[in-house]
Chains A and B, each alone.
Chain A
Amino acid sequence: DIQMTQSPYFLSASVGGRVTITCQASQDIGNYLNWYQQKPGKAPELLIFDASNLQTGVPSRFSGSGSGTHFTFTISNLQPEDIATYYCQQYDDLPPTFGPGTKVDFK
């Protein structure tokens, strides 16, 4: 199985600030990488697919980049409703696998 790692596991930022999360795959996955947001007690929601494409309805302050084994997820202008855990997920190879998550909180 392809192993996905994320860093950091936890980060705190200020409202209006910039958040960057990295995701690394154990082998080349091209751009078959998605990002999900999960708020406490809720199901994950798809934010970005194919590494950099914003899902319909997702605010433009969310963005993603990268290919191969190294990917980046960014929230610019952090809003209170962005407090959540963020997961990357690869679907280049079966089974699809997720990163361990990055919890984002306020300073």
Chain B
Amino acid sequence: EVQLVESGGGLVQPGGSLRLSCAASGFTFSSYSMNWVRQAPGKGLEWVSYISSSSSTIYYADSVKGRFTISRDNAKNSLYLQMNSLRAEDTAVYYCARDHLAALNYWGQGTLVTVSS
């Protein structure tokens, strides 16, 4: 069974940093591209970042470019999102999701990030 479990969310002050993790199991992690998607409270989905299976190709949404860094460790079956210079508008539930034919066919349960003083 495919499982994606996010962790690392919490309360952080504006300008602070946080590192999210996503532990994958039930599939060959190193064979799949992965994504981060977020959802602000009461709002819609926003795609955040993409990383290919070998980490050779990475994309970011304009809203996080230069502040967030996606990475992965295939030996540890883990996906990461380093978030720096956090703003109030980054407050959201962050989901990791597995890529399949340009669609996201498996999602984690999400981890809440709250940016507030």
Partners in one complex: no
